[in-house]
Amino acid sequence: MTAKVVITGIGVATPNGLGVDDFWAATRIGKNAIGPVTRFDAAQYPSRLAGEIHDFTAEDHLPSRLIPQTDRMTRLALVAADCAFEDAGVKPGDIPEFDMGVVTASTSGGFEFGQNELKKLWSQGSQYVSAYQSFAWFYAVNSGQISIRNGMRGPSGVVVSDQAGGLDAIAQARRQIRKGSKLIFSGGFDASICPWGWVAQIAGGRMSTSDEPERAYLPFDADASGYVPGEGGALMILEDAEAARARGAANVYGEIAGYGATFDPKPGSGRESGLRRAIETALADAGLEPGQIDVVFADAAGSPDLDRIEADALSAVFGPGGVPVTAPKTMTGRLYSGAAPVDVVSAVLAMREGLIPPTTNVTLAPEYGIDLVTGQARTASVRAALVVARGQGGFNSAVVVRAAD
């Protein structure tokens, strides 16, 4: 089946905004949310900056019974799911339970919950470890908790492909709708700003060690020296376009029009990255030519070698400076599985307003040869956007989002 699949509801939580309105108000003006880590004492670590969500109290939004059995990322995801339902004008009981599913992405699972329980195991003994540890750490826990809380018993699952996973999950949700499901939740959330998660991220060797919030995460800049991690993400309600129209959906943000995914070759092989092929596959799936894309939301790794690969891929597909490119994640840090879904949200909101959000703090190094939107937002007619994401280990994913008719 090739039915159109559209976004009808959004729940978003990022370091620079909770909810669609707050998030977009901050993003469109380039509000920086990167700062010193406060969730634990990071003084002893080489990296000490993060994008943190400061104004979220789970107890204000969720039943007390859920608090002891959930990690921070799951609490954020559950509240985002509630917001997405409200935004879409749908209640869980409005659609048969087997016609609704959940497909999310995860990079690390519930790291903070797992750390706390391991600490109890090592310091107090196994009898002090919570029984909820059996699932609260797991990659699929967000899909499970959302489906249980909202009585969603249709096709569900989780995708684990690091930062590319958010787009892979959206693509899987689109497949399920084309197979006949009426509504699928999709997106991703991560929140690993805790000592255990921090050490794991530092071990990757690509985190920035700068202590200047405005100079730490600088993709495509001559001073780029790594990335800053963040927490949060976005969940979207995806529906068949005809079904959404039939129920009188209040919001139709845009269409998931194309998708492509590839793996990079073995390091040292001398072969080209698979990123270009992922982009070309997504364009072909959407039935669009490169000249029909109005903006690219870049992966923006923040490491010179990875930035070079991405810039070369974009230039090969669109021509040097052939399309505006932006990376608003410089305001929040890289949100892992939540990053690309947030970029999809930014893309549809850019279409709605006719405005491309900026890549903050960055001065484009001319050798990259791309048209990077820096400094401030750029007014533009946006009808089709490309979102690019890459994951550690060689994952490449691309999604084309098109404005709703």
* Angle, CA 276 vertex, CA 271 and CA 279 arms, to 5°: 150
Distance CA 23, CA 387 (A): 18
Structure confidence at residue 270 as a pLDDT band (50, 70, 90): confident
What residues pair up with 14 in beta bridges, in sequence order? 17
Distance CA 85, CA 90 (A): 5
Q: Find the mean pLDDT for residues 234-245.
A: 94
What residues pair up with 19 in beta bridges, in sequence order? none
Kindly tell me if the per-residue pLDDT of 386 is higher than 60: yes
Burial (Cβ within 10 Å: 0-12, 13-18, ≥19) of residue 125: exposed
Q: Are 371 and 295 in contact (CB under 8 A)?
A: no
Kindly tell me if the per-residue pLDDT of 94 is higher than 90: no
Q: Find the mean pLDDT for residues 379-393.
A: 96
Q: Which pLDDT score, from 0 to 100, does residue 135 have?
A: 87
* Other CB atoms within 10 Å distance of the CB of residue 128: 11
Q: Which pLDDT score, from 0 to 100, does residue 132 have?
A: 81
Q: Which pLDDT score, from 0 to 100, does residue 55 have?
A: 86
Kindly tell me if the per-residue pLDDT of 297 is higher than 70: yes
Distance CA 227, CA 243 (A): 41
Distance CA 180, CA 195 (A): 43
The alpha carbon of 30 is separated from its chain's Cα centroid by a whole number of angstroms, namely 18
- Which residue shows structure tokens 């109005």? 294
3-state secondary structure 127-160: HHCCCCHHHHCCCCHHHHHHHHHHCCCCCCEEEC
Single-letter amino acid code for the residue at 221: D
Percent of all residues in the chain with a pLDDT value above 90, rounded to a whole number: 84
Token pair recorded at residue 3: 């039915």
Single-letter amino acid code for the residue at 31: K
The alpha carbon of 181 is separated from its chain's Cα centroid by a whole number of angstroms, namely 23
Kindly tell me if the per-residue pLDDT of 93 is higher than 90: no
Kindly tell me if the per-residue pLDDT of 64 is higher than 70: yes
Q: Find the mean pLDDT for residues 189-202.
A: 93
Q: Find the mean pLDDT for residues 46-66.
A: 92
Distance CA 348, CA 363 (A): 26
Distance CA 267, CA 252 (A): 42
Distance CA 191, CA 225 (A): 22
Q: Find the mean pLDDT for residues 245-255.
A: 92
Q: Which pLDDT score, from 0 to 100, does residue 1 have?
A: 54
Kindly tell me if the per-residue pLDDT of 2 is higher than 80: no
Characterize the bridge pairing of strands 371-372 and 157-159.
Answer: unpaired
Token pair recorded at residue 125: 């003994």
Number of residues that this document lists for the chain = 405
